[in-house]
Amino acid sequence: MPETKILLPESEIPTHWYNVVADMPNPPAPVLGPDGKPIGPEALAAIFPMNIIEQEVSSERWIPIPDEVREIYRLWRPSPLFRAHRLEQMLGTPAKIYYKYEGVSPAGSHKVNTAVPQAFYNREAGIKRLTTETGAGQWGSSIALAGQMFGLEVRVYMVKVSYEQKPFRRSMMHTWGAEVLPSPSPLTEAGRQILAAHPDSPGSLGIAISEAVEEAATRSDTNYSLGSVLNHVLLHQTVIGLEAKKQFELVGDYPDMVFAPCGGGSNFGGVAFPFLADKASGKAVRLVAVEPTSCPTLTRGHYAYDFGDSAGLTPLMKMYTLGHDFVPPGIHAGGLRYHGDSTLVSQLYHEGLVEAQAVAQLATFEAGLTFARAEGIIPAPESNHGIAACIEEALRCKESGESKTLFFNLSGHGHFDMAAYDRYFAHELEDYDYPSEAIEEALHHLPKVG
Amino acid sequence: MPETKILLPESEIPTHWYNVVADMPNPPAPVLGPDGKPIGPEALAAIFPMNIIEQEVSSERWIPIPDEVREIYRLWRPSPLFRAHRLEQMLGTPAKIYYKYEGVSPAGSHKVNTAVPQAFYNREAGIKRLTTETGAGQWGSSIALAGQMFGLEVRVYMVKVSYEQKPFRRSMMHTWGAEVLPSPSPLTEAGRQILAAHPDSPGSLGIAISEAVEEAATRSDTNYSLGSVLNHVLLHQTVIGLEAKKQFELVGDYPDMVFAPCGGGSNFGGVAFPFLADKASGKAVRLVAVEPTSCPTLTRGHYAYDFGDSAGLTPLMKMYTLGHDFVPPGIHAGGLRYHGDSTLVSQLYHEGLVEAQAVAQLATFEAGLTFARAEGIIPAPESNHGIAACIEEALRCKESGESKTLFFNLSGHGHFDMAAYDRYFAHELEDYDYPSEAIEEALHHLPKVG
């Protein structure tokens, strides 16, 4: 039987990140200021270091990965590419199924791939502290770990309801030395305003972002760090797809379809963009972003300029959006509960270079359970979206007799999400029907531009 | 800089387990029945399949690993050997530090290495169901996963207090299809007796063992499975040490000292025994079993015949023991709370071929935190014992200027033990002083033999 795990030596950790902007048919839509005019890089300098801002706006195809970052990557990279022999057998499909496993990182997901360079560039810029927000805690854990690696203090504003319900993600951040505060907090103007109006506010990602950005903008030793959506974040995640391509080469195979969960877009962009580069040279690979039906940004949202946060404090970005004031239902794939999407993913989807599918919550847990029983690993609820779409395709192959090569990114493990599995076992989870009127209504909430 | 992870291809998964009995200066002390006379293999046939019983009493040096077991091992084996560059730097030690990481298994610890062959041999013997007990849940998770892989039903009697306090280990077992019951339960005579006398009993490992064994002994389709102590369990774990030796060869190094936590002995035996084989050929390697000061079996216990369980239902085994009715303090390294020790480890310790150290609880958490901040991975509380002893030695090397090669087994991750870290951060943990009088007193509780 062929190998189960396709491994690369550390010398094969990519030396450069791949910037998809260089290969896009059209340049990315500009980011606009409150006046509707394109903003320059300097507008971001209050909260990001210049190296990161340069990456955010770069159109260079290859961007070198600093040695210091590659040294940290070596703690878990290259991550293994698995051939899912047992899953194929369990499904009885003629399709070949592969998955890249990013849960091998100490923080348990792909998020560390960008947390590490972000911490590095900030330290290089003389920054002593980072602030960020976290919901479910995958991102907060990752930046806590990265901050520890480069000697930066980290303060995480954690959505209060998660802070109370997910104490062990919080413990993980403490282990790596980060400070974790429930948001809204009395430490920022944004937090104090919310608390004055709603003393019992459970918090939201939007509020937590406002607090983290406010603190970074007002302290010169402190910057802000974001875990998805932005171009530089997707750029850093391309180590996933770049490694996967080398691993497919090793076994003489190549995917017909690539699946990844899509919330802010960094998971999907990270694995898919390096394959997208091959489309120009004639490869017929299909790239599928998989989102929840309860937050169907790409599949049912509007392609328009909108704010990145719910309070409307960020610049305007052109993206698929359900309206920045959209509050997705409380599904357990917290990492996919975002009203918008990366501008890069949005534009590539709009231009037909990538595809999108929406999957209902119960189907994602069913897929995750099937996967865990075949392959052992218990996936994060976000990761279950990519698995569900891949299994569906594998079963179509069974019907049609096609032996396609299918590939998904297993972005993280579910060790800190077992309460969600418990609710699934107890039949307490449900699917959400998103009404068409709400989609229409969102149109009226979009900011007026130009 | 040399590689961080020393990897082996799947073709290097060992083809045979190493049986230390073949190289022991004296044959293992016989197992005795209630009458004080040696028992034969047939006495175990009610609860174990014959293949496993043969391994339990074998003195063959090499025992072949079935292909079906190696196929499952491929999901996570060979496990990586890490060079702890960052830990060495943080300690400022001239010592070289390596660790083997068994937390890469889907169940998160080394326990699966024996769960898989145990499930396989039982299926081969026509058994449909397995029963077992679990305390903290590492073993229960492992046998749940292994049962799923070979289509066996698994029922886990989980100590009631853990069942209630560690819901997520329970969820993990459910994910892999096992049934989990709080023990004492009304399903067995042993459970009913306890419940009649103590309706609110929090349970104990001893009670849970009695329930699991009783069910296996009274149902012909059901066998019992144990996660440590017995010879065949230590045998299966030798894949750890065998792989590690190949990995050291790859980098042209060899450990001066090997450290592993020691509770029932399978973690320590698994990593240390293959190195012990080299002692005969003149290698000066020191093998150090590390136990908690609160349960100092090897370092302060009596070398005598005792029961394996607290109720006195098992045959008598010669081992270091604190008395089978000893109830260790509620430390968080649940896997090390055992009154006795493997007969093989005990005899080798008695004969001076392996060493033992005891470490206090707070020191183990301090070591785990240092490790997590240097290397990223958050270790299980059990694993912290090996780390603590290794760090202590590395700091001695710093004093003396010696550049020893130190090696420990990182037996599992701490993702399901974050509550213990929280208590450490909150200064709620304490060390336990074990009074000498209690050690003396235990002598009077040992069963009379011969």
> Per-residue DSSP letters for B119-168?
HHHHHHTT--EEEEEESSSHHHHHHHHHHHHTT-EEEEEEEHHHHHH-HH
pLDDT at A1 over 70: no
Contact A175 B422 (CB under 8 A): no
Contact A373 B416 (CB under 8 A): no
Pairing of strands A302-307, A153-159: unpaired
Q: Residue A375 is nearest to which of B3, B75, B172, comparing CB atoms?
A: B75
pLDDT at B339 over 70: yes
Euclidean distance between CA atoms B235 and B239, whole angstroms? 8
Query: Which pLDDT belongs to residue A450?
Result: 58
> Which residues 98-137 of B are in CB contact (within 8 Å) with A?
104-108
Helical packing angle, A50-57 and A231-250, nearest 10°: 70
Contact A418 B172 (CB under 8 A): yes
Share of residues in chain A with pLDDT > 70 (%): 100
pLDDT averaged over every residue in chain B: 94
Of the pLDDT bands very low, low, confident and very high (cuts 50, 70, 90), residue B440 is: confident
Q: Residue A377 is nearest to which of B4, B106, B415, comparing CB atoms?
A: B106
Residue A183 near residue A160, CB atoms below 8 Å: yes
In the numeric block, the tokens 């370092």 are attached to B299
Contacts A–B by Cβ distance under 8 A: 106
Query: Which pLDDT belongs to residue A142?
Result: 98
Residue B123 near residue B225, CB atoms below 8 Å: no
pLDDT at B100 over 70: yes
pLDDT at A291 over 90: yes
Q: Which residues contact A363 (CB under 8 A, 6 or more apart)?
A: A388, A431
A335 shares contact with chain B (CB less than 8 Å): no
Query: Which pLDDT belongs to residue B1?
Result: 65
Residues of B in contact with A106 (CB under 8 A): 372, 375-378
Q: How many angstroms separate the CA of residue A432 from the nearest CA in chain B?
A: 24
Tokens for B425, please give them: 């951060």
First-to-final CA distance of chain A:
60
A17 shares contact with chain B (CB less than 8 Å): no
Query: Which pLDDT belongs to residue A96?
Result: 98
Q: Residue A174 is nearest to which of B1, B415, B425, comparing CB atoms?
A: B425
Strands (E) across B241-343 are located at 257-261, 286-292, 302-307, 316-321
Query: Which pLDDT belongs to residue B43?
Result: 86
Q: What is the pLDDT of residues A301-312, one digit of tens each?
A: 999 999 987 778
Query: Which pLDDT belongs to residue A174?
Result: 97
Instruction: Find the range with the poorest average confidence among B61-70, B223-232, B275-284.
Output: B275-284
Residue B4 near residue B86, CB atoms below 8 Å: no
Share of residues in chain B with pLDDT > 70 (%): 100
Q: How many angstroms separate the CA of residue A72 from the nearest CA in chain B?
A: 9
Query: Which pLDDT belongs to residue B443?
Result: 80
Residues of A in contact with B415 (CB under 8 A): 108, 168, 415-416
pLDDT at B433 over 80: no
| A104-123 average pLDDT score | 98
Q: What is the pLDDT of residues A29-51, one digit of tens each?
A: 999 998 889 998 888 898 999 99
For chain B, domains (ranges, CATH) are 5-10+66-108+238-445 (3.40.50.1100)
Residue of B1, B163, B168, B174 to mutate, testing the A interface (most A Cβ within 10 Å of its Cβ): B168
A175 shares contact with chain B (CB less than 8 Å): yes
Residue of A1, A8, A10, A145 to mutate, testing the B interface (most B Cβ within 10 Å of its Cβ): A10
pLDDT averaged over every residue in chain A: 94
Q: What is the pLDDT of residues B253-306, one digit of tens each?
A: 999 999 999 999 999 999 999 999 998 788 999 999 999 998 999 999 999 999
A369 shares contact with chain B (CB less than 8 Å): yes
A151 shares contact with chain B (CB less than 8 Å): no
A425 shares contact with chain B (CB less than 8 Å): yes
Q: Residue A376 is nearest to which of B106, B376, B416, comparing CB atoms?
A: B106
Sheet containing A222-224: order of strands: A179-183, A153-159, A129-134, A222-224
Query: Which pLDDT belongs to residue B445?
Result: 82
- Find the residue in B nearest to A422 (Cα): B171
| A103-120 average pLDDT score | 98
B365 shares contact with chain A (CB less than 8 Å): no
Burial class (CB in 10 A: 0-12, 13-18, 19+), B221: exposed
pLDDT at B450 over 70: no
Q: Residue B176 is nearest to which of A74, A372, A415, comparing CB atoms?
A: A372
A139 phi/psi in degrees, rounded to 5: -70, -45
Q: What is the pLDDT of residues A3-12, one digit of tens each?
A: 999 999 999 9
Residue B206 near residue B189, CB atoms below 8 Å: no
Share of residues in chain A with pLDDT > 90 (%): 81
pTM for the whole thing? Answer: 0.97
Euclidean distance between CA atoms B367 and B386, whole angstroms? 9
Residues of A in contact with B422 (CB under 8 A): 167, 171, 174
Euclidean distance between CA atoms A195 and B389, whole angstroms? 48
At residue B330's C-alpha, the angle toward residues B325 and B335, to 5°, is 80
Tokens for A446, please give them: 């979009």
pLDDT at A335 over 80: no
Query: Which pLDDT belongs to residue A114?
Result: 98
| B7-25 average pLDDT score | 97
- Find the residue in B nearest to A414 (Cα): B172
pLDDT top residue among B132 and A207: B132
Would the CA dihedral through B80, B86, B90, B92 be positive or negative?
positive
Length of chain A, in residues = 450
A62 phi/psi in degrees, rounded to 5: -120, 130
